Structure 1
Amino acid sequence: MDILTAIKNRHSVRNYIDKAIDNETLAALKAEIDACNKESGFHIQLVANEPKAFEGMMANYGKFSGVQNYIALVGRKDADFDEKSGYYGERIALKAQMLGLNTCWVAMTFSKGAAKKAVTIHSGEKLGCVLALGYGKTQGVAHKSKPMTDLCETNGNVPEWFKNGMEAAMLAPTATNQQKFIFTLSGDTVTAKATGGFYSKVDLGIVKYHFEIGSGRTL
């Protein structure tokens, strides 16, 4: 599976079967995490065979079941923490999809206390969102999207690469499917910004990564 196919096929999955992730798949995913950490300066960690973060009341509220693995997005408490965690977290989520795994972005409906006990958080770092990880009972369902014209601003002819980028961005997961972002094309320059709403900065990082993959352009 290539990454564009992963973008189209990846949907949020909350319920997982009782199946361990094999060592080869874990190694490939860890290699991607290491690459993201090296590039970003983050301290993202894979937690395997540890169900406690998804056993409490919050996980039940979030309708999660069978979650025994997750990706913990840990990094320095910088101003760009949220956006970078979205960008690199989604990069890892798509790699997981390419490896035959399923994921779900989780901001609040997990036990943060249990997760903090399972990871290493250095001074000056914090734990943000996590990604539930494993083999889903289903492959999830596609989310509805706003029209492209509601999510971008352009003038004149719109190049094909920009349309491709927007189509990929429209497939990106966002908190409660709010899609609080706007891309602006001015000449050959693209900018993207969050337009408010909870976790919209995390969402901005996610949609930026999707846009870059779809368009072949770096923002």
Structure 2
Amino acid sequence: MNIVEAMERRHAVRDFSDRPIDDDTLRALNEAVDAANADGGLDVQLVQDDTDAFGGCPTHYGRFKNVRYCIVLIGSDDEDPAQLDRKVGYYGERLALTATQLGMGSSWVVLHETHDHDGRWRLGEGERMPAALALG
């Protein structure tokens, strides 16, 4: 599937299967995350195969079920906050489209209290997590 087809097919999913994502798909996702980090100067991280990939953080909107995987979109808060939000939006949507191309569903999510996340991701000094992508 090309990027235009992925754009046409992509839609928000909030109820995911509890099946694990296969190794080849995880490898492709990790490569896409690495590319986003290299291109965008971000600290995007893939939370894998966890019973609560959100680490107990409450969501801003929507009820989610069986979120075992998510991509946390993290970057430096030292730059202009609007610039970080734009980068997270651009690279996050690229990752959402990659997930669609790999046959997965995804949904944007804003999490609250992201510093209390049961160790699911690393949030460094001076970093902020504007959003995440639930995957499955």
Separation in structure 2 between the aligned mates of residue 113 and residue 122 of structure 1, nearest angstrom: 10
Q: Where in structure 1 do 4 or more consecutive aligned residues deviate above 6 Å? A: none
Which residue pairs with 1:2 in the alignment?
Answer: 2
Which residue pairs with 2:133 in the alignment?
Answer: 131
Residue aligned with 1:118, SS: coil
Q: Does 1:84 align with 2:87?
A: yes
Where in structure 2 are there 5+ consecutive unaligned residues?
none
Bigger relative CO (Cα 8 Å, ≥ 6 apart): 2
Residue aligned with 1:52, SS: coil
Q: 1:112 aligns with which of 111, 114, 128?
A: 114
- Larger Rg computed on CA atoms: 1
Number of residues of Structure 1 aligned to a counterpart in Structure 2: 132
Separation in structure 1 between the aligned mates of residue 133 and residue 88 of structure 2, nearest angstrom: 11
Residue aligned with 1:75, SS: strand
TM-score for the superposition, normalised by structure 1: 0.56
Provide Cα deviations, 1:28-53, integer angstroms capped at 9, x if missing partner: 01101111110111010000112335
TM-score for the superposition, normalised by structure 2: 0.87
Q: Which amino acid aligns with 2:94?
A: R
Residue aligned with 1:105, SS: strand
Provide Cα deviations, 1:147-199, integer angstroms capped at 9, x if missing partner: xxxxxxxxxxxxxxxxxxxxxxxxxxxxxxxxxxxxxxxxxxxxxxxxxxxxx
Q: Please report how far the alpha carbon of residue 114 of structure 1 lies from its aligned counterpart in structure 2 after TM superposition.
A: 4.9
Identity, in percent, stands at 39
Provide Cα deviations, 1:105-160, integer angstroms capped at 9, x if missing partner: 0014x6634547211222221222110000xxxxxxxxxxxxxxxxxxxxxxxxxx
Change in Cα spacing, 1:95 to 1:57, as seen in structure 2 (3 Å) is: closer
Which one has the bigger helix percentage? Answer: 1
Separation in structure 2 between the aligned mates of residue 99 and residue 116 of structure 1, nearest angstrom: 28
